[in-house]
Amino acid sequence: MSPTAMAHALNAGLRRAMEDDDRVVLIGEDIGRLGGVFRVTDGLQKDFGDLRVVDSPLGEAGIVGSAIGLAMAGYRPVCEIQFDGFVFPAMNQIVTQLAKYRHRAEGRASLPVVVRIPVGGGIGAIEHHSESPEAYFAHTAGLKVVCPSSPQDAYDLVRQAVRSDDPVVFLEPKRSYWRKGELDLDAVPAPVERARVLRAGDDVTVVTYGALVPVALEVARICAEEGRSAEVIDLRCLSPIDDATILDSVRRTGRLVVAHEASRTAGLGAEIAARVQDRAFYSLEAPVQRVTGYDTPYPPSRLEEDWLPGVDRVLDAVDRTFEH
């Protein structure tokens, strides 16, 4: 197992999915000859042809709408939305059609569509290129929402997403694309819906996902130097949320910090805090702390490091849980 970038792991996962099932087709802007803005689909059109890796017109509603038609015809399409801020023209197709079709058909039919979306900040991009729209999708019944934080998870989750008979919104943290990690192509993947405890601890639980996972692990390392033991949980799946893993941890540690890049109000941190308060209230030694982006539009690139949650802000939240 050699160090592999997440973008390359995603490419390997898509390639494997296409080799395993001729019904898998990719569709998106510039994904063929160019290989995608982040080169995730590099080389796939060359190897599988332009009928299976389709360069679409610039039109997100048309991309997802075409994928829905392909799924109805028996294919397993994977859409690529070029940047997170460009997904909103396709929201009607995703929320009104994709998410509701199985329910509308009373379970007799499904739409096995994957919508890949690069998300989040930290790359110095311009306006509309650094959004965190996960709460919109997690709020929508009928969609499964996943977000890998490592090359291994990216490889495993994208293959599982393609095999899913339910639609999957697949969020790819942009600043993690070139972060390297070990990749075992033959590893047995964990269930999609299961969160992963990346570091065990006894004093405080830190729950996060995507690009903030390395931040949480650094926080845990610093906590250890200060004599505190922090448990780090990577959600992996944002809908459905793995309540059991979170609750088991909080009942042992008595403290919880939830971190995400998206704005604070109505974010996933609020949902997790509510669930823990409802089901593990008497285990809590302190109020749940949330560390998030601010309730403002994403800032210009020169200010994004002040806007994004970092190690200092998460450490401050951990400290606040020990003040009670």
- Residue 42 CB coordination number (10 Å): 15
* Separation CA 231–CA 69 (nearest Å): 44
| Selection from 132, 91, 150 nearest residue 115 by Cα | 91
Q: What single-letter DSSP state applies at residue 189?
A: P
Q: Please, how many CA atoms are within 13 Å of residue 10, restricted to the half-sphere of its CB?
A: 32
Q: Pseudo-torsion of CA 141, 63, 43, 71, nearest 10°? A: 60
Q: Cα separations (Å) of 162 from 25, 26, 187?
A: 10, 11, 17
| Block residue for tokens 């008979």 | 165
- For 183-211, letters b (16+ CB in 10 Å) and e give beeeeeeeebeebbebbebebbbbbbbbb
Q: Are 41 and 14 in contact (CB under 8 A)?
A: yes
The Cα 305–Cα 121 span in angstroms is: 9
260 catalytically annotated: no
Residues 6+ apart with CB under 8 A from 120: 84, 130, 131, 132, 173, 174, 175, 210, 211, 261
Active-site option among 8, 103, 128, 129 = 129
- Residues serving a catalytic function are 129
